[in-house]
């Protein structure tokens, strides 16, 4: 942690780990998508790829590697209109939970498709969880960019 008079420490190791996780997650998504198109039945690697991408964004924020410390003094950082506004951990938890619920609804929708589309509830579950997850993630993006 940095005090008010000190410049936040940049952690390039975390930043490098985040880049590696992002690339590994993207590779997992691409490879599993190709496997899925060819008849693969496991979506676990796909879900882990998404989780790695989300975790890599969190590591980039924690690393402070992309902050420009020369342009703004620490005193100026705390005096803006968004002073004291952080993204709460509950919002991060809700975002990750909504992504997990969407992944589960995708799996249910896929299983119903394999059985011949005899039930309608997976379609409604996927639609509602996608809308709710979109709202939560949209709010998260707005909070991060403001």
Number of helices followed by number of strands (H, E) in the chain: 5, 0
Domain count, the chain: 2
Give the C-alpha separation, 9 to 19, whole Å. 19
pLDDT digits (tens, 9 = 90+) for 39-79: 766 677 788 888 988 888 888 888 876 665 555 555 555 55
**DSSP 8-state symbol, 9:** P
CA–chain centroid gap for 119, Å, is: 31
Average pLDDT for the chain: 79
> Which of 84, 104, 120 lies at the terminal end of a domain, its last residue?
84
Q: Is the pLDDT of residue 12 over 60?
A: yes
Domain that holds residue 129: 86-146
Tell whether 19 and 76 lie within a shared domain: yes
Structure tokens at 123: 């379609």
Q: What is the pLDDT of residue 81?
A: 53
Q: What is the pLDDT of residue 132?
A: 92
User: Sorting pLDDT into bands at 50, 70 and 90, what band is 129?
Assistant: very high
pTM of the model: 0.47
User: Sorting pLDDT into bands at 50, 70 and 90, what band is 3?
Assistant: low
**Mean pLDDT (whole number) for 11-36:** 81
3-class secondary-structure state, position 60:
helix
Tell whether 15 and 47 lie within a shared domain: yes
């Amino acid at each position: 942690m940095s005090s008010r008079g000190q410049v936040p420490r940049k952690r390039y190791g975390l930043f490098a780990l985040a880049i590696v996780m992002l690339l590994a997650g993207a590779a997992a998504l691409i490879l599993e998508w190709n496997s899925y198109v060819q008849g693969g039945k496991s979506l676990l690697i796909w879900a882990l790829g998404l989780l790695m991408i989300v975790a890599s964004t969190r590591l980039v924020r924690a690393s402070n590697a992309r902050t420009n410390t020369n342009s703004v003094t620490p005193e100026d950082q705390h005096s803006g209109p968004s002073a004291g506004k952080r993204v709460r951990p509950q919002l991060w938890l809700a975002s990750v939970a909504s992504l997990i619920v969407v992944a589960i609804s995708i799996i249910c929708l896929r299983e119903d498709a394999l059985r011949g589309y005899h039930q309608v509830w997976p379609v409604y579950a996927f639609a509602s969880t996608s809308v709710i997850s979109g709202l939560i993630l949209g709010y998260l993006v707005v909070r991060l960019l403001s």
